Structure formats: C-alpha cells, structure tokens
C-alpha cells in the first residue's frame, strides 16, 4: 500500500442480534391440556464471532429447545437469502402444553446468556366461548391487559365495563337514543358509568359486585 492510498474499509459491525421466540396455541380450544407450537428465530451476525457461524447458532437453538421439555422432537432449518447467504437458524417444536413462567424464564436466560437480545411473544386468546379474538403479547407478562381488552383474558367487544368507584363489573348494551340519553350510575356505589347527554341509550346488567375504592 502506497503512502497516498486509502486504508481498506473496516467491515461494518451489525447490531447485537435479537432472538425471537413465539409460543402459539394449536388445535381446538376445548382440548385440555392445550397444544402449543414453540418457534425460535436466531439470526447470524458479526456483532460477535459466536454469532457468525451456523454451528454456534445451531447449538444455542438446541440448548434453548432442550431446556423446554415436554415437547416432540425439535426441527431446525436454515434461513437463506435469494443469493444463498445463510442469515439465521429457525427452530420449532410442538409441546403438549404452554410454557409456564419458570420455563419462560429459563428460555430467556438461555438465549440472553448466549449474547442475544430476547423477545418472547405468545398469542393471547379471548376466553369468551363465542369469541375467536387473539393478540400477540409479551409471554412473561400474563397479567397485563392488552390494549382495547376488558381484562387480561377477555377482549373489549363483549360489552363488559368495570366501575371506577367500586370495581363492580357490568354487562352493557346500547341502542340509538332519540335525543340526549340519560346518564347511567353504578348501583353499588353511585359512580357514573356513562355521562348524561350521549347518543346511546344503555342497558346494564350487574355481573360482579365490587368493593368501594378508597381513592
């Protein structure tokens, strides 16, 4: 290399890769226990040499699924681009039931200790018998209510509403009002469920009596 020639360009370093795990229910909902599909996607990366070759990443996938007992034999496949470049390892197995909090913690620890960022998602199903609504959620936070849902396991389209004053639960339905509709109050604590003057005339049915809030 001459004095005036430019030095060779440094190889760009990828961002730290993220391992994704998806836990999805399979089969009829009435089956007990419910079957689940566990799918992993582990990208290769030059962020660290341990992510750069197939053997190392495959070993991480095998450890991760090996820690998840109670399932059928795991399957592994290469993810390649149109030009034939290997970019990731996919792995999957079918389990007889979902992962509990302890098993999810072990899976996360296996992937994070290997150096990956980790995202574990599960499909949350509405438990209403007549509903097929689902939404993807963080698998490690089963108590969180999805956006737009009434509770952690009931979606928002079934007419349930909780009183802010005493946590009583009502089943509510409405029809179009001819004029300004009257307000609706909680029969337990008197808190307003629906303000006066709306365009809907509400019918309410008390489902669960709550206790008065101290706030």
Q: Where are the domains of the chain?
A: 18-138, 160-208
Q: How many degrees, rounded to 5, is the angle at CA 103 between CA 133 and CA 51?
A: 100
Dump pLDDT digits (tens) for 15-25: 789 999 999 98
- pLDDT value of position 16: 84
- pLDDT value of position 12: 59
Dump pLDDT digits (tens) for 44-94: 988 877 788 899 999 999 999 885 555 578 899 999 999 999 999 999 999
Tokens of 191: 């808190």
pTM (2 decimals)? 0.71
Size (the chain), residues = 215
- pLDDT value of position 214: 47
pLDDT at 102 over 60: yes
Listed in sequence order, the residues at least 6 apart from 51 whose beta carbon sits closer than 8 Å to its beta carbon are 17, 43, 44, 45, 57, 115
Confidence label for 13 from pLDDT (cuts 50, 70 and 90): low
SS3 148: coil
- pLDDT value of position 2: 57
Q: What is the mean pLDDT of the chain?
A: 86
Listed in sequence order, the residues at least 6 apart from 93 whose beta carbon sits closer than 8 Å to its beta carbon are 37, 38, 65, 68, 71, 72, 73, 74, 75
Relative to beta strand 192-194, strand 184-185 is antiparallel
Dump pLDDT digits (tens) for 139-149: 888 889 999 99
Q: Which of 41-50, 188-197, 204-213 has the lowest mean pLDDT?
A: 204-213
What whole-number distance in Å separates Cα of residue 186 and Cα of residue 184? 7
Listed in sequence order, the residues at least 6 apart from 160 whose beta carbon sits closer than 8 Å to its beta carbon are 150, 151, 154, 169, 170, 171, 172, 207
- pLDDT value of position 89: 96
Say which residue, 14 or 37, is predicted with more confidence: 37
Burial of 102: CB neighbours in 10 Å, binned 0-12, 13-18, 19+? exposed
Taking alpha carbons only, the member of 161, 167, 165, 163 closest to residue 149 is: 161
pLDDT at 215 over 60: no
pLDDT at 1 over 60: no
SS3 105: helix
Tokens of 108: 């996360």
């Amino acid at each position: 290399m001459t004095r005036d020639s430019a030095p060779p360009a440094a190889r760009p370093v990828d961002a730290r890769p993220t391992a994704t795990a998806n836990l999805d229910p399979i089969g009829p909902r009435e089956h007990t226990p419910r079957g689940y599909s566990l799918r992993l996607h582990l990208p290769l990366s030059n962020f660290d040499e341990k992510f750069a070759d197939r053997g190392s990443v495959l070993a991480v996938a095998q450890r991760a699924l090996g820690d998840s007992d109670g399932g059928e034999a795991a399957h592994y496949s290469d993810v390649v681009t149109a030009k034939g470049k290997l970019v990731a390892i996919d792995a999957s197995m079918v389990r007889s039931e979902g992962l509990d909090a302890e098993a999810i913690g072990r899976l996360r620890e296996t992937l994070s200790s290997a150096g990956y960022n980790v995202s574990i998602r599960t499909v949350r199903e509405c438990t209403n018998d007549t509903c097929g609504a689902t939404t993807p959620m963080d698998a490690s936070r089963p108590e969180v209510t999805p956006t737009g849902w009434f509770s952690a396991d009931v979606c928002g389209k079934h007419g349930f509403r909780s009183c802010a004053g005493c946590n009583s639960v009502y089943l509510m339905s409405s029809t179009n009002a001819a004029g300004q509709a009257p307000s609706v109050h909680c029969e337990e604590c008197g808190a307003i469920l629906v303000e006066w003057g709306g365009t809907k005339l509400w019918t309410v049915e008390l489902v669960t009596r709550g206790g008065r809030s101290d706030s």
